[in-house]
A and B are shown apart, each in its own frame.
Chain A
């Protein structure tokens, strides 16, 4: 090759339009310079729709397909090359439209090859041999006509390659977009709107640890951070404030030295137009800036021009830190991140003020941040707010310094806010500072898009957790029709897997398996907690109604919630819920836990008893019915067999077996009966506690209607500003024990002879018996097994084995099961049927597949933790709800319900 290589600059995200007559070598050129997947060819599309790449009648459909594919690629942010003749302006116009629609730059590469060459090439291709002779000359005429107007048509770069040699010598050079600074990882200090408040800016930079460099006149001209941090200004450096030139001098110096990045604000944009000689109105503080700049002219006449150049050089937004951070002035929806177009720039500078009105004539207000679902954090300014706070992974740092507010900076990636107060009100605000969105961070009500369809929830502890569409659909129905107000539902408990299936004769579940499993996962200390046979309950208890209203947005008369594991209210009567909450709140208060945990609300995971309270329908129609049928059928059958045997018919084996079955059925009835007792009877408390309550006449004093109801809290999930899910279980239970003891004293005092309280009360809180086991110590494991046997033989449901430390990970970083259940032999009759212990049944039942249940338990656990973390971080309601909804949806996944 004689010609030197020629580089063709192509932005790394652009729509490259090849232009050339048929036979000009476009496809060859495309294959040589781009990935096969980047090329969308009209010939291929023609083939796709018509089975013939040269079928001209298929052209319109082929181009529809081409546009569709190219559109999908551009939407996903992928460089796309269109391989079609594109010699006609209307063909190019639609491609330019496509590029604009996806906010990418259109680039033209023209292959201007002589007719003869093209004709020769076509002749060599059998499929194009019968191409009419006039086609190439016509296309070439069209091409020549187009060449001059390509830039006017909207192509941002035009490369024209004349002749075969230039085509051969060309080399495509992809260049990074100006806004793409993903390779810069900071750490950054992002600084909100300055508006000429130089002094506060100096103070803020000092607070952030920057060292100012001053010129001989003492004016700051640069600032660097000893740890190499980079400052990022979100724009609106100028106007309104006392020293816009001083701010510009400092920021321009920092940008020039590489200590800072800066994006333009609408005020820079306007100043730039003024400095460029355009006619602008001197409003919104521009007049002050112009005046200040004029003073500057005396000492530094070139300053004005440097400012103009600086503003002209600013890029409307930056994508930083591997794509995790986007900085711009007025906010940017995700589809504009890293894109380049007029409307992206306009949104970045002004936000969405299109001036449109909807069909009812109401102006379209586009609260882009409320809709934001992007993975990148968007940090911006522009709208003065009293306090910077995160909303959907976006944060506005304009805290109105110039109006007498504060100047705020965000440390990234630490996500720490640093601010300094304004020294004075520099500029009277037109209206007082107020948050724009109603209700602040929680301003947006839940939207269907937050939950519907197939969704993926990002979790801190397990990465992405997928929710299938059909499960979301079922959860939507239950959540909408039956659940309590989502604001009061910041958590749903995860399902729990049973321990591995035991081979121990007569047992399906045995604690030895649970201990062995945790030992294998490297968990040494586990706590065995008695499993209460009630119904799972999540309790949100607030210190008072006001707290509930303020933090959870509840209505009057509601001070918390008590819901089941699918979010349904536990009691149909809200007054019952309030009664339970009142008791609990009193106990928490007397014990001083509000102060100790520095909170005014608590979220508890608990079991509410008796089982029959919530599950009576199920008990009657499913369980008692089975007992009734068995009880009615066996006496007759046994009598008949006995008579037959007496007649000498050989039925001995059959009779023996039926006797065993009858006794299994009786054991089944016994098993469920243990978990049923009536409530609301003041003479009864907890079974076995009748003595305590029976000491004195109750009737005269009435009751609080909670008699017989017992609540066994076993974990404090969250308090104000923090999740307590990772707090070790011994510490959790120690706090809960204190509540139980406190309640016992309170109840004793209330019920004592000399008390004048109007109500006789039974205890509400129930303790959870437990034992700590060392899985490495044989004696301790044996003790655990013995404890379980005693517990279950005395009628207990079983136990839950949990790592004592709460949240534990395996060596490979994956979560360990937060707990496994070990259900008692008799209790399992309720689950597997009266006769499950018969060896022929047990052997088959042992083939149970635990994999899915275990995975489900972990996924729900991760979602539950995520909900608590989001709640603790003060994230908006939809974020918390997304995770909670995920737990509910997963609960509808198909898994053996006996596990």
Chain B
């Protein structure tokens, strides 16, 4: 809401030239109506030696909320949360950047009718932004401004002095000092304030790329953080168009629970698993799953907990998989999967092989019956342990595919991840990570209860000490599956055999073999 621009001067070059540059007379307080509230410009000091211009934007909080609603709920993704009580009226946010560009538009363009020579001149500048929202903290602020020739002071603002344990807020008190042309300084602020803010309360117009190019002229092209600046500046566009609709119901549920929406709406991990940079282990995992499915001669396959559809995509590549059903509980993940798979542009023959459904393994689901195989890839660890029996029943008891492939992290391997702090799970939503023994114990018990045989396979490098990073269990219905001589023809006898398996204890591959020997 507030920033000051100061300069110093001499008798020949009085500091009050700032007034000419900004087109605002130092002896008047002026007010301007902008799209988000009233902007005031006044000069706390103005003499030959020192001149300071202050910009104060009074954001109208009530109108801000109404704007969000008026635009329709699709227009402001988190209109339901945060807009009501938010920092916009106080922080030097993207709204202040917009005000800056409209109030000082000539200065920003480097025009000064009265003194055309002034804008060309570099001058000593001191810019103070007392409450600058900065995602990335003071350190990023320095990285963004220092290469532009500023001496940067960025002090973090504590969240609440009454609760020191809460630590620092995302605001910094910023002071920039340097000798620059004013237009350049203003254009840098115009771009970098929203980049640091990184909030979604900013209405992005289609011409945003042009604006960025125009404002970045002369400084952005050589900036070492150019990529970060451009992606953050433009990224907001994507988040607006993509995630607008499906999140709102979840936003409201988060709100009902005094929870941040990120805690609930986290099925799509945007940061780690992107299309451009798939995690290498994920590729190995897919290969292992495909191998298992091929060896089981499965053609009609369920991907339970399909997430963003990576495995579904891989299955589509192999025509032997004639029917692929991706199931996930998150609508957001399913929409993302449909987008990544380009379902709307896929040829009919191909798209007829794939189906995406919202479903939940906390419930039995008639639609999942009668498939050759089901895959639960990195799914079980996202469930609280008390709810695993329901999943077990839904998959092994009710859906009952001939083959089930389950993968889950091997927690023993975590010590081999250099970047993973000890004791930390690989993903914030992991409710547990199992050792090989824990996983095997669970899998054997499940197999015994439901008449499956189970074998285990490593995924990724099988470390002699801690095992592979991912563990895979391959379940096959019926005890005879374990010996690898499955008979798939005589249905009558199979029925009997599988009933027997319920009561027998020899379901694990190894045990079965031992018994046979």
Q: How far, in whole Å, are A448 and B360 apart by their CA atoms in the complex?
A: 7
Q: A644-B43, A892-B249 are in contact. Are A637 and B85 (CB under 8 A)?
A: no
Chain A residues near B257: list those with CB within 8 A: 535, 564-566, 568, 614
**B206 contacts chain A at the CB level, 8 A cutoff:** no
Which residues from A are CB-within-8-Å of B362?
446, 479-480, 486
Hey, which chain A residues are within 8 Å of B263, CB to CB? 617
Among the interface residues B40, B92, B367, which one has the most CB atoms of the partner chain A within 10 A?
B40
Partner of A647, one of B46, B162, B330, B358: B46
Please tell me if the beta carbons of A473 and B358 are within 8 angstroms of each other in the complex: yes
Could you tell me the distance in whole angstroms from the C-beta of B6 to the nearest C-beta in chain A?
10
- Chain B hits for A384, CB < 8 A: none
User: Can you give 21 contacting A-B residue pairs, CB < 8 Å?
Assistant: A357-B491, A358-B370, A360-B477, A473-B331, A476-B358, A481-B267, A481-B330, A484-B384, A568-B257, A614-B257, A617-B259, A618-B258, A622-B81, A630-B90, A633-B131, A636-B2, A637-B1, A637-B56, A641-B56, A661-B89, A830-B85
Within 8 A of B (CB), among A540-590: 554-555, 558, 564-566, 568-569
B123 within 8 A of A: no
* CA distance in complex: A623, B159 (Å): 9
Across the interface, do A448 and B331 meet the contact criterion of CB distance under 8 Å?
Answer: no
Shortest CB distance A893–B (Å): 7
Cα–Cα distance between A891 and B256 once the two chains are bound (Å): 7
Within 8 Å by CB of A640, from B4, B331, B387, lies B4
Report B315-326 CB contacts with A as 1/0, cut-off 8 Å: 000000000000
Contact call A481/B382, Cβ cutoff below 8 A = yes
The number of residue pairs between A and B whose CB atoms lie closer than 8 Å in the complex comes to: 288
Q: Decide: A446 and B491 in contact? CB cutoff 8 A.
A: no
Whether a CB of chain A sits under 8 angstroms from the CB of B492 is yes
**Any B CB within 8 A of the CB of A632:** yes
Bound-complex Cα distance A445 to B493 (A): 28
* Other-chain contact of A482, B52, B256, B264, B499 (Cβ < 8 Å): B264
Of the candidates B1, B160, B393, which one forms a contact with A624 in the assembled complex, judged by CB atoms under 8 Å apart? Answer: B160
Contact of A833 among B84, B133, B359 (CB under 8 A): B84
State whether A647 and B44 are in contact (beta carbons under 8 Å apart), knowing that A361-B494, A892-B249, A894-B248 are contacts in the complex. Answer: yes
Q: C-beta contact mask, A611-646 vs B, less than 8 Å → 1, else 0?
A: 100110110111111111111111111011111100
Are A669 and B363 touching (Cβ within 8 A)?
no
Minimum Cβ distance to chain B for residue A275 (Å): 37
**In the bound complex, how far is the Cα of B393 from the Cα of A476, in angstroms?**
18
Interface residues of A in 667-698 (CB under 8 A from B): 668-669, 673, 676, 678
Indicate whether A447 reaches chain B with its CB closer than 8 angstroms.
yes
B517 interfacial by beta-carbon distance below 8 Å: no
Q: Give chain A residues whose Cβ lies under 8 Å from the Cβ of B230.
A: none
Interface residues of A: mostly helix, strand, loop or mixed? helix
User: Is A790's beta carbon under 8 Å from chain B?
Assistant: no
B405 — which chain A residues lie within 8 A by C-beta? none
The residues of B that contact A648 with a CB separation of less than 8 Å are 27
Find the residue from A478, A486, A627, A633 having the highest chain B CB count within 10 A: A633
B365: chain A residues within 8 A (beta carbon): 447-448
Chain A, range 340-384, C-beta contacts under 8 Å to B:
357-363
- Least CB separation from A614: chain B residue: B258
Indicate whether A305 reaches chain B with its CB closer than 8 angstroms: no
Q: Do B62 and A845 have beta carbons less than 8 Å apart?
A: yes
Contacts of B160 in A (CB 8 A): 624, 627-628, 669, 673
Contacts of B196 in A (CB 8 A): none
B244 to nearest A CB, angstroms?
13
Q: Is A446 touching B42 in the complex (CB atoms < 8 A)?
A: no
State the main secondary structure of chain B at its contact with A.
mixed
A-chain residues with CB within 8 Å of residue B42 when the two chains form the complex: 640-641, 644, 649, 651, 654
Closest approach, in angstroms, between the C-beta of B90 and any C-beta of chain A? 4
Given A641-B42, A644-B29, A830-B85, does the pair A620, B249 have CB atoms closer than 8 Å?
no
Contact A360 B61 (CB under 8 A): no
Q: Are A636 and B128 in contact (CB under 8 A)?
A: yes
Chain B residue at smallest Cβ distance from A611: B258
Interface assignment of A190: CB less than 8 Å from any CB of chain B: no
* Least CB separation from A616: chain B residue: B166
Per-residue CB contact flags for chain B residues 37-55 toward chain A (1 = under 8 Å, else 0) read 0001011111000001010
The answer to whether the Cβ of A452 comes within 8 Å of any Cβ in the partner chain is yes
Complex alpha-carbon distance, A894 and B131, angstroms: 33
Q: Which residues of B contact A564 (CB under 8 A)?
A: 257
Q: How far is the CA of A311 from the CA of B494 in the complex (A)?
A: 42
**B400: interface (CB < 8 Å):** yes
Give B383's nearest chain A residue, CB to CB.
A481
Closest to B330 in A: A477
Residues of A at the B interface (CB closer than 8 Å) are 357-363, 445-452, 470-471, 473-482, 484-486, 495, 535, 554-555, 558, 564-566, 568-569, 611, 614-615, 617-618, 620-637, 639-644, 647-651, 654, 657-658, 661, 665, 668-669, 673, 676, 678, 830-836, 841, 844-845, 888, 891-895, 897-898
Q: Does B422 contact A (CB under 8 A)?
A: no
Closest-CB distance, B416 to chain A (whole angstroms): 27
Whether B105 is near chain A, meaning CB under 8 Å from some CB there, is no
Say yes or no for B283: interface residue by CB 8 A criterion.
Answer: no
Residues of B within 8 A of A447 (CB): 363-366
Q: Do the beta carbons of B252 and A897 come within 8 Å of each other?
A: yes
Give the docked Cα–Cα distance between A481 and B73 (Å). Answer: 25
CB pair A360–B495 under 8 Å, yes or no, is yes
A828 to chain B, nearest CB (A): 10
Q: Bound state CA distance, A673 and B492, in angstroms?
A: 70
B258 touches A445 (CB 8 A): no
A445/B393 in contact, CB under 8 A: yes
Given contacts A360-B494, A566-B256, A622-B82, contact A476 B130 (CB under 8 A): no
Q: Does B43 contact A475, Cβ atoms closer than 8 Å?
A: no
* Chain A residue, CB-CB nearest to B27: A649
Instruction: A586 to B82: give the CA distance in the assembly, Å.
Output: 41
A residues near B58, Cβ cutoff 8 Å: 657
Give the interface centre of A474, A629, A650, A841 by most chain B CB atoms within 10 Å: A629
- Quick one: closest A residue to B429, CB to CB? A481
Partner of A832, one of B80, B85, B158: B85
Q: Give the chain B neighbours of A629 by CB distance below 8 A.
A: 87, 90-91, 131, 133, 157, 169, 171
CB 8 Å contact bits of B81-108 with A (1 = contact, 0 = none) = 1101111011110000000000000000
Known: A495-B256, A564-B257, A650-B29. A476 touches B329 (CB 8 A): yes
Known: A622-B82, A640-B44. A474 touches B250 (CB 8 A): yes
Contacts of A363 in B (CB 8 A): 495
Q: Cα distance A195–B493 when bound, in Å?
A: 37
Inter-subunit contact B128/A445 (CB<8 Å): no
CA distance A446 to B360 in the complex (A): 11
Contact of A622 with B493 in the complex, beta carbons under 8 Å: no
Partner of A649, one of B43, B258, B493: B43
Query: Contact: A485 with B43, CB < 8 Å?
Result: no
Q: Indicate if B421 sits at the interface (CB-CB under 8 A).
A: no
In the complex with contacts A643-B45, A844-B62, A632-B173 CB distance below 8 A: yes
The smallest beta-carbon distance between A479 and chain B, in angstroms, is 7
* Closest residue on chain B to residue A646 by CB atoms: B44
Cβ of B163 within 8 Å of any chain A Cβ, yes or no, is yes
In the complex, A633→B255 CA distance in Å?
28
Judge whether B111 is part of the interface by a CB distance below 8 angstroms. no
Residues of A within 8 A of B386 (CB): 484-485, 554-555, 558
Interface membership of chain B positions 259-289, coded 1 if the CB is closer than 8 angstroms to chain A and 0 otherwise: 1100110010000000000000000000000
| Contact between B44 and A644, CB atoms less than 8 A apart | yes
Query: In the complex where A360-B402, A484-B386, A643-B45 touch, is A633 in contact with B364 (Cβ < 8 A)?
Result: no
Closest 5 CB pairs of A and B: A474-B249, A361-B491, A643-B44, A361-B495, A892-B249
Is B170 part of the binding interface, using a Cβ–Cβ cutoff of 8 Å?
A: yes
* Cβ contacts under 8 Å, B264 to chain A: 477-478, 481-482
Query: CB-CB < 8 A to B490: which residues of A?
Result: 361
Q: Which residues of A contact B157 (CB under 8 A)?
A: 628-629, 631-632
B476 to chain A, nearest CB (A): 12
- Does the CB pair A620–B166 fall under 8 Å? yes
Nearest residue, chain B, Cβ from A840 = B62
